[in-house]
Structure formats: structure tokens, C-alpha cells
Structure 1
Amino acid sequence: MKAERAKEILIQLLKIPSPSGHEDRLALHIMEFLHRLDYDVHIESDGEIIDLIVNPKAELFFEVHMDTIDVRVEPFVRGNIVYGTGASDIKGGIAAILLMLEQLRKEGKDLNVGIVFVSDEEKGGRGSALFMERYRPKMAIVLEPTDLEIHIAHAGNIEAYFEVDGKEAHGACPESGLNAIEQAFRMLEELKKLEPFRAKGKYFDPHIGIQELVCENPHYLIPALCRGRLEARLLPEQEVEDVLDLMDPILDEYTLRYEYTEIWDGYELGEEEEIVQIAKKAMEITGLSEFGGMRSWTDAINFMYNGTKTIVFGPGNLDISHTRHERIDVRDVVKASEFLMAVNDVYGKG
């Protein structure tokens, strides 16, 4: 039964911790799995990053990252649901690829696409950057948790670290001080009023929020300094530079200093693109029907910036990824594997 085999493969993957920078053991496990199926595996490395590549001359690649965040939950199973850090993001996707490769061998079919397993997606995206330095495939499917939606659009993003200063006063005398935490939230209120963050999107809406805020205050004071991190999600059609022009005056007013640490534009592929047409045919074969848009940074950005037309797809749920509740239904792993198999077949027929 495919679900049981998918569960077995996934549990093996989850039992090998692979936080960013420590993917070696998992890479070795994947290599051994592929060698048992008689696939040749090419290794690309710059001394720090390791990528594993199968069928390197292909023009259509399936890409998936081997790393996870630091382990928060050890793997365990309840029926068809597998829990644990990385189950959804994205070892369920790795399992789908391995299940597909195993099925191809059983059916005596050719592998028409390339496969690349990359490192460092969760930290810096250096694995996909290294791959794209040395290979330039025409098209790609990047595996990420999309609830089996085919994401032909991708959000843009702005990340900024900031410091907000205020004025110290005794905690019982707020009138004499200026609360840095309250200033940070006033800044956020002003940012949320900007037109780009009040727009409506086709697949998701834009958003800006504070994801980290640190203020040390051991002396019962009105806090005079806090540090934090802003994250902004943009619509595919919104230009990052235009949004920065609106954000800068507000950050200048409220912060002591700030620094943009991540900036990228999103994108949306037209339905006339070859990769979208291939995906549509595979959707018809497998019964999948939903297009969507990816809300988070993925390696697809590195692929698109280097000219590779890329969609994002995979089993798992982005909402619960990285959380203590991360989990995946192995039946979705099977469905993802069947879709990838269909893409391989459609592409092979030209």
C-alpha cells in the first residue's frame, strides 16, 4: 500500500535531524536510497553547502531542501498522520520524490526530469543559489508545503531589523518618559495604514507585522530602547522599491536605526508558460484542481531571478510548519508523488 510505504520513507527521514548546516547525515541517507534504486547521484559543493543532483542535464527540475529549522518536536505517528519538525516543511516533499523515483523503477519508466536536493533553504538559500550558479534549467517545481495547490504566484518580501529609542523614567511615572515599546507599536500602526498593505490580492493579501520584539527592563522603568524585526508580505505585482519609498519616512521618524535584511520582488506566471501548461495536464491526470500563491520565501525566488520559470507545489500545510504542531497526512504525500509522476510522464511525451 502506497500510504504505508510513504509513511515508512517519511519516518526514516524524520529520524535523521537535519537543521540548517547539519544536512550531511540526511544527504548520505538520500544518496544510499537512490543508489539502491540504481540512480546516479552527482554532488555539488562549495566546501560548506552540499547539493545532490540526479539527471543533471534535464531542462525541468524538481527541487526540494533537506534542511529544517532546529528540531522542536521528535517524530511520532497517529494513524496516517506523521508529526515532527520537518514533516510538513518539507520532508513530506522529499518522501514524495523518493516514492516517485521508487515507483518509476517498479514500472520500468524513464526519469525525464532532474532532481536536486539542496541545503540551507531555511537560513540563507545558499543551496539553491549554488545550484543555479552551475545549472540553469529551463523550468522547475520547487517543493514546499502548499496543501497540494499548484502555486503559480509568489509573494514579495521585506524584512527589517530596527531599534526604537525612548526616554527612561520610573515605571510609575509614564508622563515623564517615552515608552519605546509603545513607540514601536505606533510605528507599526502607521505602516499598516500605507496603501500597499490595505490592498487585496488574488491568492493572499499583503501584510506587515512585528515578528520579534526585545526589551530588557530589569529596573522597573519606562523602557527606553527596544529591538525588533519587521516582516512585510507583498503581492506579486507590488514593486518592492515602491513600498520601501513609503516605509522609509516612517522608519526614519520612529527608529534610532534600521536595516533591511531581506528584500525581493514576487512574481506570477501566466497560464501560457510551458511549466504551467505541463502542470495543468498533470492536474487533469491526478484530479488536483487548485492554483494558488506562495506566501513565504522559497528557493523559487533564486530560480526565477536566474531565469528558470518556477512553480511551487507540495504536500503539507504552511500554516503549521515550524510550529510544535507540525504534521502531515501521508495520503497527501502519495498524492504529491502521483502528481510529480504525472509531470514526469507529461514532460517525457513532449
Structure 2
Amino acid sequence: MSTLADTKTLLAELIGFPTVSSDSNLHMIRHLAERLSHCGAEIEVWHDETGTKANLFATLGPKLDGGIVLSGHCDVVPVADQDWTSDPFRMEERDGKWFGRGACDMKGFIAAAVAMASHYAALDLQRPVHFAFTYDEEIGCFGARALAETLREKGLKPAVAIIGEPTSMRIIEGHKGCYEYTTHFTGLEGHGSGPDRGVNAVEYAVRYVSKLLELKEDLQSRAPEGSRFEPPWTTINTGALVGGVAHNVIPGKARVEWEMRPVQKSDADYVKGALHQFCAHMLIPAMQLVHPDAEIKTEVIGEVDGLTPMEESEARDLVMELTGANGADVMPFGTEAGIFQGLGMSVVVCGPGSIDQAHKPDEYVSVDQVKQCLGMLERLASKLV
């Protein structure tokens, strides 16, 4: 069977695992572990504390530092309320495209990498190649963060990571971070006819959002000189404001779901510091003047650092050579790349498919893009021997 045909077969199998982030990924992890084990890879499966999710870390070649990691996440976004023309968890081929949930984000890359494993295994590898497949990227990169901690504990030190997110096979050397929060407001319920006797949690949430909007404007003036991002500054988005039960009831609970995409860590520190001061000196004292137990608490959903472009980058230079590209770009959306960079690795993002198809009904990866990815991975073999 050709590598392309093997990739197609494996991708169909992977799409058949409905690994929505809210559900287990264990069946997919076991399937990949079995495939890689048959190639002679050393397999490590590390479960989360619930036992329903796991990371897979597999190695071909010598037990040395300085290896190359091929990484992807197993989880996919939900298909609920999306209008698909075919079963999202059954791959279909139409017009040179492979359709299915996760086809481009990012099971296409995982299938291509694992399909190449038997080729790597047949070589006299002088440099290890690692396969790192994680859980829960879509909801906060929890799997990659756990993987990073395990690698630190075990003293494993790969040198290069290629994150196969859908970039249309462009080389991405930098992207913004993704910090997500839910801020909870606890006030005091009461009848709407007596607003002074209650603490309206929704109104304080609105004031908090107003502060977010003010900071959103301030961040534009903090854009680093020469920033390559679009937009070049750190952004803030208010995703939801939820609270209240009826027209005539003072709401005692509210929450604001929001995120920021930092281009530099100092911006994140600035925003968090400003919000802390605003709540500590303005909002909370006013709330507790009426109800001493009133409070504002911010829940950290995830703080994933961005990928910082580096002047010297083994990963960028390697993948440029493998793909024939003459440069590298940056992008606004986040990945797990910054987590791997935090371990001291040189990292790029490069994979088949377009982010324009990700998360949408009738998600697909083109066969041509998969062929390009396989070409890159085939040429990688010469760097391992």
C-alpha cells in the first residue's frame, strides 16, 4: 500500500473516532499506539486525572536528546447545530477532498505522520523522531501542558517540534498567545422595586466589561514596533455576559467569559493588573458596602503562551529546506507551539489544510495538501540518519 493510500485509510479510521473535547479520546489513542507499536516505537501513554483522556508519546530511534517531535491534538470541536451534507464522523471523498470532522484540524497531519512511521522505522536512525498526540487542545491546551510537565519530570529533551496545525503547508514561526477567563460576580438578590437593598451582579459585570473595552483600546498603543501580527496589538474579546432570571429580580449572580490574545507577556500582565486594581479598589468595595459577602472571582480557563519568532531557529530552517519555502509567516490564532517552545525546543507550525475549513460544517483537507505534507515528512527522513 502506498503512503498516500495508507494515510487515507488511517485518516478515515481517525475521523471515525468522535473525539469531541467533552468526550474521551482513549479509543483513538489506543489505535495510534497500536499502529506505532507495530513499527517498533517505544510507547508512552499518560492519562489525565480522570482516566478518560490521555497523551501519547512514541519514539523511534536512539534514546538521545535532540530529537524531532511531530505533534498534533486528537480532540475536535462539536458538530451540534452544524449543517453537514454528510456524516461528520464518516470520511467521504469528493472533488479531491477528504471530508470529516477533524480532517484538517488536525487528524490529517496525524494520519500522515503515523503513516510515515514504518518508513522511519526501516532506517538506521541516528536522531530520534517522536510522535506527540495530545488531548483537549480545543478547550485550553490541557493535554499539551500535561505533556510538557511529564517531559520535564522525565528529563526528555527533544530539540525540534513541528506542530501540524492547518496552515496550508505554510511555515508559521510565530503566533499570539491565548488567555481565556470566566469572571464570576456574586451579589445579592432582591426585588426590582428596591435596587438599593440588593447588589446587582449584572450591573457590576457590565462595568467590568466596560473596563475590558477601555483596556482593549489602550492595548493598541502598546503594539511592539515592527509587530508582524494582524492586528499588531494584543486583542481582547468579550465572548459572553450571562446573568439574571426575570425582569423584576435583582440578579445575584453573573459571569463574563472573555479572552485576550497577547503579542507579548507584558500586555497580559498589564491587563490582569489593571483589572485587579479596578475590582479591588472600585467594584468590590461598592458591592460589599451593601452586602459584605459580595465578591468577584476570576477563573482561569487557560493561559497558553504564544509562539515567539526567533532570530535563530533550527525548526524554521529545517522545514524551509524540507518544503522549499523561502520564508516563514506569523498568524493570529493559537496552538500548542508555545508550550513546546517553553521546554526549550525550536518550534514551527506547518500542516495540511486551511484554518478557513476548521470548525465548520463539511470540514475537509485536500488530497493535494496531504501529498505536500507527506513530501515534507518523507524528506525529513534524510535528517534522521
Q: Same fold (TM over 0.5)?
A: yes
Q: 1:32-85: CA deviations, max 9, x gaps?
A: 33345x332322436743423122535222222233345654334233333333
| Bigger shift: residues 219-228 or 310-319 | 219-228
Q: Note if 1:337 corresponds to 2:345.
A: no
- Between the aligned partners of 2:314 and 2:130, the Cα distance in structure 1 is 18
**Cα 1:70–1:131, aligned 2, differ >3 Å: closer, same or farther?**
farther
Q: Note if 1:305 corresponds to 2:342.
A: yes
Q: Residues 2 and 334 of structure 1 are in contact (CA less than 8 Å); yes or no, is this contact kept in structure 2?
A: no
Structure 1: gaps spanning 5 or more residues:
none
Q: 1:235-287: CA deviations, max 9, x gaps?
A: 14755323433443345545751325133543423242222221221232xxx
Match of 1:101 among 117, 125, 141: 117
TM-score (norm 2): 0.73
What is the aligned partner in structure 2 of residue 88 from structure 1?
Answer: 104
**What residue identity is the alignment partner of 2:321?**
K
Identity, % of aligned pairs?
22
What is the aligned partner in structure 2 of residue 153 from structure 1?
Answer: 174
**What residue identity is the alignment partner of 1:245?**
G
**Cα 1:243–1:39, aligned 2, differ >3 Å: closer, same or farther?**
same
Q: Residues 120 and 381 of structure 2 are in contact (CA less than 8 Å); yes or no, is this contact kept in structure 1?
A: no
- Between the aligned partners of 1:241 and 1:188, the Cα distance in structure 2 is 14
Q: CA deviation at 1:136?
A: 1.4
What is the aligned partner in structure 1 of residue 384 from structure 2?
Answer: 348
Q: Secondary structure at the match of 1:45?
A: strand
- Between the aligned partners of 1:133 and 1:321, the Cα distance in structure 2 is 34
What is the aligned partner in structure 1 of residue 16 from structure 2?
Answer: 15
Q: Residues 191 and 250 of structure 1 are in contact (CA less than 8 Å); yes or no, is this contact kept in structure 2?
A: no
What is the aligned partner in structure 2 of residue 259 from structure 1?
Answer: 298
What is the aligned partner in structure 1 of residue 84 from structure 2?
Answer: none
Q: 1:192-251: CA deviations, max 9, x gaps?
A: 122257737403323111223322424555756421221000114755323433443345
Structure 2: gaps spanning 5 or more residues:
81-87, 285-294
Aligned residue-pair number: 339
| Bigger shift: residues 227-236 or 273-282 | 273-282
**What residue identity is the alignment partner of 2:70?**
F
What is the aligned partner in structure 1 of residue 262 from structure 2?
Answer: 234
Q: Residues 70 and 129 of structure 2 are in contact (CA less than 8 Å); yes or no, is this contact kept in structure 1?
A: yes
| Bigger shift: residues 86-95 or 198-207 | 198-207
Q: 1:104-142: CA deviations, max 9, x gaps?
A: 57xx65555412233324251223432343211122222
Q: Please identify the structure whose Cα radius of gyration is greater.
A: 2
Query: For 1:184-263, what aligned pairs fall within 5 Å after superposition?
Result: 185-196=209-220, 199=223, 201-205=227-231, 206-219=234-247, 225-236=253-264, 238-250=266-278, 252=280, 253=282, 256-259=295-298, 261=300, 262-263=302-303
Match of 1:62 among 62, 70, 90: 70
**Cα 1:254–1:320, aligned 2, differ >3 Å: closer, same or farther?**
farther
What is the aligned partner in structure 1 of residue 149 from structure 2?
Answer: 129
- Between the aligned partners of 1:307 and 1:53, the Cα distance in structure 2 is 19
**What residue identity is the alignment partner of 1:155?**
K
Q: 1:154-207: CA deviations, max 9, x gaps?
A: 322332221357887759x9xx99753644542332231222577374033231
